[in-house]
């Protein structure tokens, strides 16, 4: 599919990945409608910080992904939907799981039902590597079993299955993109890389973290954005689940020490019990097999392997350490 000339709706456009994706598509000259979470402050989330040359070309639709009527209204006249809107914080899902079902599963159903009724040409649904749970084999292919080790991951498994059910039942042109751990500028401090950077940048040398031994496959946000575009454009992606990952595994402890090295600081890592997941809920190992993305999409990470990870971390650190950006984060508290 050629995106030029298509009207593209991005749900979750106000969030971390969504804002980067929105800006990238607008810069390429695409016609974009940004679905942002309605609030009384009239905030567009991270899009409030976008350059004026971006925002003046955007159509912004404030709404709630949980409301089927608003979702359908937003999708009218759109050819492509990139569905990113979701609740993603794992600790918050432990004490408020009901809202994850409403947002992640029912919200996805609202998008799919409207896409079916409006005959949208392409829906790209966003999954997560958390649906795999602790790796049973590595690298993790798309055929790996799904394991709901947190209410969050269970809700995303449900959303993924709902998306695939619409493809199988109604031939709705759905593709599922499954990014591994995306990081970069603007990420919430509930994620580990911003947690480490903001603590160090705020002058802390004793860094509070949860488990240090789990491994992750960190994916720089620009690579994730390129993955979304590739999935949206590819006809071969319809009906497919596609991993977007760097194919590089690194532990949380190693990541913290690497960040400290890049920032030129000596740190001591302390275990903060409130940051630990329940034992059976901790995902111990994630490592992406990205061969399917290369084969179907021609996508591969620009920030792959250790050198790429260092470059991505350096760019992320540069953004977070700018005073105006750092000021937006509460580095001294645990962000659930």
What's 270's domain CATH number? 3.90.25.10
% of the chain at pLDDT higher than 70: 100
Is residue 262 included in any domain, yes or no? yes
> Could you identify the residue written with the tokens 């000339």?
5
Number of structural domains the chain divides into: 2
Given a cut of 90, whether residue 326 has pLDDT beyond it is: yes
pLDDT for res 319: 98
Give me the chain's average pLDDT, please.
97
Beta-strand runs (E) in the chain: 7-11, 31-37, 59-63, 80-83, 122-126, 174-179, 181-183, 206-209, 215-216, 218-220, 241-244, 250-251, 268-271
Domain co-membership, 234 together with 272:
no
Residue 44 sits in the same domain as residue 89: yes
- Give yes or no: residues 16 and 113 share one domain: yes
| Torsion angles phi and psi, residue 332, rounded to 5 | -85, -5
Co-location of 227 and 271 in the same domain:
no
Residues 6+ apart with CB under 8 A from 173: 120, 121, 122, 123, 167, 238
Categorise residue 298: left if φ over 0, alpha if ψ from -120 to 50, beta otherwise: left
- Is it true that the peptide bond before 139 is cis, omega within 30 degrees of 0? yes
CA separation, residue 260 to residues 129, 144, 292, 298, 326 (Å)? 26, 34, 34, 34, 16
* Residue 258 domain flag: yes
Which pLDDT value is given to residue 332? 84
Mean pLDDT for 182-192 is: 96
The sign of the CA dihedral 60, 64, 69, 72 is positive
For residue 111, the domain's CATH number is 3.40.50.720
User: DSSP character for 106?
Assistant: I
pLDDT score recorded for residue 188: 96
Res. 207: pLDDT tops 90? yes
pLDDT higher than 90, residue 126: yes
At 19-49, the pLDDT tens digits run 999 999 999 999 999 999 999 999 999 999 9
Same domain, 165 and 56: yes
Residue 258 has pLDDT above 90, yes or no: yes
- Encoded tokens for 19: 């804002």
pLDDT tens, residue by residue, 64-96: 999 999 999 999 999 999 999 999 999 999 999
What pLDDT, on the 0 to 100 scale, is given for residue 35?
98
Q: Once rounded to an integer, what is the mean pLDDT over residues 119-130? A: 98
At residue 335, the pLDDT reads 84
List the domain range (segments joined by +) for residue 233: 7-184+220-247+289-297
Question: Residue 47: inside a domain, yes or no?
Answer: yes
């Amino acid at each position: 599919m050629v995106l030029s000339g298509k009207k593209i709706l991005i749900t979750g456009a106000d969030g971390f990945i969504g804002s980067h994706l929105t800006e990238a598509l607008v810069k390429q000259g695409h016609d974009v409608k940004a679905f942002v979470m309605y609030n009384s402050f009239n905030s567009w989330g991270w899009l409030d910080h976008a350059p004026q040359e971006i925002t003046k070309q955007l159509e912004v639709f404030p709404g709630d992904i949980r409301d089927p009527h608003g979702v359908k209204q937003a999708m009218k006249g759109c050819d492509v939907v990139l569905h990113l809107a979701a609740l993603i914080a794992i600790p918050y899902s432990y004490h408020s799981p009901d809202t994850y079902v409403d947002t992640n599963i029912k919200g996805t159903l609202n998008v799919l039902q409207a896409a079916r009724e409006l005959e949208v040409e392409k829906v790209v649904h966003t999954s997560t590597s958390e649906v795999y749970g602790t790796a049973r084999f590595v690298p993790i292919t798309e055929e790996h079993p799904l394991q709901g080790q947190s209410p969050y991951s269970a809700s995303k498994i449900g959303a993924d299955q709902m998306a695939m059910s619409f493809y199988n039942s109604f031939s709705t042109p759905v593709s599922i993109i499954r990014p591994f751990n995306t990081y970069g500028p603007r990420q919430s401090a509930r994620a580990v890389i911003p947690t480490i950077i903001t603590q160090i940048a705020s002058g802390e040398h004793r860094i509070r973290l949860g488990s240090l031994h789990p491994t992750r496959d960190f994916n720089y946000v620009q690579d994730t954005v390129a993955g979304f575009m590739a999935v949206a454009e590819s006809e071969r992606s319809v009906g497919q689940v596609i991993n977007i990952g760097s194919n590089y595994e690194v532990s949380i402890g190693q990541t913290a020490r690497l960040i400290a090295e890049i920032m030129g600081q000596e740190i001591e890592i302390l275990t903060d019990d409130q940051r630990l997941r329940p034992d059976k809920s901790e995902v111990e190992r994630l490592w992406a097999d990205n061969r399917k993305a290369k084969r179907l999409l021609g996508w591969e990470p620009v920030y792959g392997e250790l050198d790429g990870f260092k470059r991505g971390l350096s760019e992320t650190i540069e953004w977070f350490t700018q005073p105006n950006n750092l000021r937006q984060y509460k580095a001294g508290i645990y962000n659930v």
